[in-house]
Amino acid sequence: MQLSKQNLKERVDQVYDAIVVGGGAGGLSAGIYLQRYLLSSLIIDKGKARSFWMQELHNYIGLPSDTPGRTLLRQGKEHYLSLEGDLLNGYVEEVVDEGETFAVRVKVGRQNSIYSVFRCKYLIAASGIIDYLPTLEKMQNVYEYAGYNLHVCLICDGYEMADKKVGVFGSSESNLGVAFSLGWFTPYITLFTQGLFEVSPKFRQQLQEHGYRLVEQPIKQFLGENHQMTGVELADGSVVELEAGLISMGSQYHASYLEGLNLERQGGNLVTDKMARTSHPRIFAIGDLKVGLNQVVVAAADGALAATQIWRDIRRATGAKRWLANLPIKSG
Amino acid sequence: MQLSKQNLKERVDQVYDAIVVGGGAGGLSAGIYLQRYLLSSLIIDKGKARSFWMQELHNYIGLPSDTPGRTLLRQGKEHYLSLEGDLLNGYVEEVVDEGETFAVRVKVGRQNSIYSVFRCKYLIAASGIIDYLPTLEKMQNVYEYAGYNLHVCLICDGYEMADKKVGVFGSSESNLGVAFSLGWFTPYITLFTQGLFEVSPKFRQQLQEHGYRLVEQPIKQFLGENHQMTGVELADGSVVELEAGLISMGSQYHASYLEGLNLERQGGNLVTDKMARTSHPRIFAIGDLKVGLNQVVVAAADGALAATQIWRDIRRATGAKRWLANLPIKSG
């Protein structure tokens, strides 16, 4: 059921089989599988998963290619609740390993917040990442286009940028390197440092060899209308016309609650095995938090894998039910 | 486009970037990703993927839990064709590794068959498995219930069997062992050897300890109506009442076309890396053919992974497009 400040006390004394941190595609998929394995689960969602911002999911089989990410999330949430899973809108501040259980400390409500502690045997970290966006004086100007034709994922939206004039917005030379992969889809590439960093002579040379343009002054604002970005106005008032954009400024990992747990990482990502288990035997990581491809369908599959492995662990520890009526009556 | 006997000649001279054998959830997902990477692809589908038989997909996030498997397949096929992928209904008889390319020999049409050879750089084996069903005199009696309440997948449908009287139909003692996992969901289990094999004293003992029943005579027919199986009539005319069934008789692997290629296997399944690549660098295996969990959402994710790795390989070999207008004009 949907938990809230009013009714969450009903659940603080129980130990869930699993708590899932994050209600995106991965977390909801995990929750659906957990409930169908007859395990008890709680999904704690801070809201606004990365897929929430996707205007059109172009590559998720089974859904028409203009389906918004939030439609998938709404469907998944209904599905999960119909299986009697618990769902709480809240922010996980800390997870403490108590040996047999985890204590999960949650802040509920942005105003007049209350704090609660829930307990579980297994934890699934599904809280994902969110992309850093260009920082402009009026951020509303960025939100106007982000997720429309100002993309954050080359894998997802390279196709949408084919043969278009594309601006690549980076925060370091290394993340601007995505331009050479984007160069598979289109040659008409202009890179923007936004005045944030210097570019090495070697990188500058590579760009020249490809005919890619480099703009090194700050951006004043994106231009366009009806969520379609048509160019950039620079600090000096000049305009660069574009037909699409690719933001490549790195990502914020929503996983500070895991800090005390000393999990194995590779770069910023959690290392997992084939069933999405981290280096801690009772903690799983799925979707964008883990090493691997950041795709909705991959996160959804990760959720199935993690839930299945948790079920196997618990099932093996518990053993199969016995058909009591067929057993010999034991004499006292 | 949809290829057929009439127009397939248009394609026999080209080399596809990838040919996908199998048009189930995994193959279609791979095809959608390949086309969105601007790669050329052909899906060759023999028809009737395992998911085609699924009456309700209960655990695929984004689709209502009563969505038939064939709805997902139809949606995926439309999606793929809208991206200008090629699709052919045919049966792949043989794949020959020619070094840079594969030659894929296809039989088209069950009657008045014609044979064609298509070529590709990469191959994705997505042709899956199909479950062996009990062999009765009237097979129509089995098809009447299979995929409804006569299940083939415990992971998928354990939930549907919770606390029900369930019959488990095996073809060997080892595949009857699924009963102890089913015992997580329900204790009311009757195992049927169908008279096909003997059970060891140890196994018999384990069943007795759990109170599970064992029926060792052949089955005459399934009983029921409106696709709901309500029991089994045995060879001697006696009836065992049931509320659901689980068939566990192994699977036929649709991969005879790979026989000459000496790929690494584990049991009957192909061994793959994290991107679904087999031991052959240009052959990928996805879905039920590979080692791992046989789930629709996993197959769909596998398709995304395989296509992405093929794109990376080809992109790195090809290099990025250059913006020619910005390059210095080379003097002859």
pLDDT tens per residue, range A26-72: 999 999 999 999 999 999 999 887 777 888 899 999 999 999 999 99
The whole-model pTM stands at 0.96
Mean of the pLDDT values across residues A72-94?
Answer: 97
Surface-to-core class of residue B105, CB atoms within 10 Å of its CB (0-12 exposed, 13-18 middle, 19+ buried): middle
CB count, 10 Å around CB of B193? 20
| B139 contacts chain A (CB < 8 A) | no
Residue with tokens 């030379």, as numbered in its chain: A173
CB contact under 8 A, A72 and B79: no
CB A87 within 8 A of CB A23: yes
CA distances from B4 to B8, B17, B45, B47, B110 (A): 6, 20, 12, 14, 13
Q: Comparing A5-14, A89-98, A207-216, B262-271, which segment has the lowest mean pLDDT?
A: A5-14
In angstroms, the separation between the Cα of residue B116 and the nearest Cα of chain A is 29
CB B96 within 8 A of CB B120: no
Considering only CB atoms, which chain A residues are within 8 Å of B318?
184
CB A54 within 8 A of CB A73: no
A320 → chain B, closest CA residue:
B183
A165 → chain B, closest CA residue:
B323
Q: Say how many CA atoms lie within 13 Å of A45 toward its Cβ.
A: 25
CB contact under 8 A, B155 and A308: yes
**DSSP per residue, B240-262:** EE-SEEEEES-EEES-GGGGGG-
| B326 contacts chain A (CB < 8 A) | yes
Q: Say how many CA atoms lie within 13 Å of A198 toward its Cβ.
A: 3
In angstroms, the separation between the Cα of residue B233 and the nearest Cα of chain A is 22
pLDDT, tens digit (0-9, with 9 covering 90-100), for A140-180: 999 999 999 999 999 999 999 999 999 999 999 999 999 99
At residue A282 the predicted structure's pLDDT band, cuts being 50, 70 and 90, is very high
CB contact under 8 A, A183 and B82: no
**Nearest by CB to A186, which of B59, B210, B321?**
B321
ipTM of the modeled complex: 0.96
Please identify among residues 170-199 of chain A the ones whose CB lies closer than 8 Å to any CB of chain B: 179-189
* Secondary structure of A142-185 as H, E, C letters: HHCCECCCEECCHHHHCHHHCCCCEEEEECCHHHHCCHHHHCCC
**Nearest by CB to B25, which of A33, A61, A158?**
A61
Considering only CB atoms, which chain A residues are within 8 Å of B180?
320
CB count, 10 Å around CB of A205? 10
Judge whether residue A332 has pLDDT over 70: no
Per-residue pLDDT at A331: 58
Please identify among residues 55-114 of chain A the ones whose CB lies closer than 8 Å to any CB of chain B: 58-65, 67, 71-72, 75-76, 79, 82
Which of B134, B132, B131, B40 has the alpha carbon at shortest distance from B87?
A: B40
* Distance (Å, whole) CA A195 – CA A229: 21
pLDDT, tens digit (0-9, with 9 covering 90-100), for A289-312: 999 999 999 999 999 999 999 999
CB B61 within 8 A of CB A72: yes
Which of A297, A277, A284 has the alpha carbon at shortest distance from A153?
A: A297
CB contact under 8 A, B37 and A295: no
**Nearest by CB to B301, which of A75, A182, A300?**
A300
Considering only CB atoms, which chain A residues are within 8 Å of B304?
59, 293, 295, 297-298
Per-residue pLDDT at A52: 79
Tokens of B317: 């070999």
* Distance (Å, whole) CA B91 – CA B22: 9
CB contact under 8 A, B188 and A158: no
CB contact under 8 A, B300 and A61: yes
| B158 contacts chain A (CB < 8 A) | yes
* Distance (Å, whole) CA A108 – CA A276: 28
Q: For residue B215, which phi and psi values (nearest 5 degrees)? A: -115, 125
Per-residue pLDDT at B49: 77
* Distance (Å, whole) CA B84 – CA B228: 41
Please identify among residues 196-215 of chain B the ones whose CB lies closer than 8 Å to any CB of chain A: 209-213
**DSSP per residue, A270-289:** EP--TT-B-SSTTEEE-GGG
Q: What is the pLDDT along chain B (332 residues), one digit of tens a residue?
A: 999 998 988 898 899 999 999 999 999 999 999 999 999 999 999 988 777 788 889 999 999 999 999 999 999 999 999 999 999 999 999 999 999 999 999 999 988 999 999 999 999 999 999 999 999 999 999 999 999 999 999 999 999 999 999 999 999 999 999 999 999 999 999 999 999 999 999 999 999 999 999 999 999 999 999 999 999 999 999 999 999 999 999 999 999 999 999 999 998 899 999 999 999 999 999 999 999 999 999 999 999 999 999 999 999 999 999 999 999 876 55
* Distance (Å, whole) CA A29 – CA A307: 9
Q: For residue B188, which phi and psi values (nearest 5 degrees)? A: -90, 70
* Distance (Å, whole) CA A57 – CA A69: 6
CB B257 within 8 A of CB B21: yes
**Nearest by CB to B36, which of A36, A159, A320?**
A159
In angstroms, the separation between the Cα of residue A20 and the nearest Cα of chain B is 16
Residue with tokens 């290394």, as numbered in its chain: A174
* Distance (Å, whole) CA B16 – CA B39: 8
Q: For residue B246, which phi and psi values (nearest 5 degrees)? A: -130, 115
In angstroms, the separation between the Cα of residue A40 and the nearest Cα of chain B is 13
Positive/negative CA dihedral, A255, A256, A262, A266? positive
Residue with tokens 């043989």, as numbered in its chain: B94
pLDDT, tens digit (0-9, with 9 covering 90-100), for B114-142: 999 999 999 999 999 999 999 999 999 99
* Distance (Å, whole) CA A284 – CA A123: 6
Which of A274, A214, A52, A42 has the alpha carbon at shortest distance from A143?
A: A52
End-to-end CA distance of chain B: 43
**DSSP per residue, B203-243:** HHHHHHHHT-EEE-SPEEEEEEETTEEEEEEETTS-EEE-S
Angle between helices A296-318 and A25-36 (to 10 degrees): 30
Q: For residue A148, which phi and psi values (nearest 5 degrees)? A: -95, -100
In angstroms, the separation between the Cα of residue B91 and the nearest Cα of chain A is 23
Tokens of A27: 């977390």
Percent of chain A with pLDDT over 70: 99
Judge whether residue A8 has pLDDT over 60: yes
* Segment holding A205, helix H or strand E: helix A201-210
Q: For residue B112, which phi and psi values (nearest 5 degrees)? A: 45, 45
In angstroms, the separation between the Cα of residue B195 and the nearest Cα of chain A is 23
CB contact under 8 A, B38 and A162: yes
Considering only CB atoms, which chain B residues are within 8 Å of A64?
75, 79
